Structure 1
């Protein structure tokens, strides 16, 4: 993982794997937000597998898929998810860009 800190409450990274969740928790994150739609790549694990591993590691997990321009509904869902995570959040997608865009749009 190549984690990029955006601010004290939010960081981004590219695609994570279920086995990464314990290390994400140990790095101090309280939850994850996935901005990647399921099935985008053949080798991408479905969000349900990531969510299961996140919950087992004690992390909140939310799926807000972004394909194309951000919509108001996605921004609202991001804001709501962020309020349910008590601590730093790791957002991810293929490269981290869409997760970062969600954070930026929600914090204008």
Structure 2
């Protein structure tokens, strides 16, 4: 699985750039139970669709959830939807997009109600993601 860089953000979530069906057996062997695809289908030529990955994920014993978010347009409601998926899916979870940045942003927004925003930005920075330009949520949006 040398082609996939798994970047841990918490004990139960790691993020990665685009993965392929061939990566899924190794991801399952690494202990992951679920995947969240944050990349819209058709974003780039030659990209694997979430359906291609869902079929291969199922064969590898993984669950895949599809939460497409357009690059540069991650919102607080998207973060809440990500939190809902993390609460529903078996852990640990691997979230992926093109580079991992969208998934890392979604994670930070999903945790904003339970951890201080500066600590989340710092954790993301340690993992290689600059979230300093992300507007912190004013308050958790729980319905």
Which TM bucket (shorter chain)? Answer: over 0.9
C-alpha distance in structure 2 between counterparts of 1:55 and 1:84, whole Å: 17
Partner of 1:41: 44
TM-score computed with the length of structure 1 as normaliser? 0.92
Matched, 1:61 2:64: yes
CA RMSD of aligned residues (A): 1.2
In the alignment, the residues of structure 2 paired with residue 83 and residue 58 of structure 1 have an alpha-carbon distance, to the nearest angstrom, of 19
- Which residue, out of 22, 26, 29, partners 2:25? 22
Distance (whole Å) between structure 2 residues aligned to residue 29 and residue 105 of structure 1: 22
Counterpart of 2:83 (choices 73, 79, 83) is: 79
The whole-number CA distance in structure 2 between the counterparts of 1:9 and 1:76 is 17
Distance in 2 (alpha carbons) for counterparts of 1:20 and 1:70:
26
Supply the distance in 1 between the matched residues of 2:81 and 2:25 (Cα, whole angstroms): 25
CA distance in 2, matches of 1:12, 1:54: 16
**How much does 1:73 deviate?**
3.6
How far apart are residue 65 of structure 1 and its match? Answer: 0.9
In structure 1, the gaps of 5 or more residues are none
4+ runs deviating over 6 angstroms: none
> How does the TM-score come out when normalised to structure 2?
0.71
Alignment length (residue pairs) = 108
Query: In structure 1, what is the Cα distance between the partners aligned to 2:87 and 2:58?
Result: 17
Residues of 2 paired with 1:90 and 1:45: CA distance?
A: 16
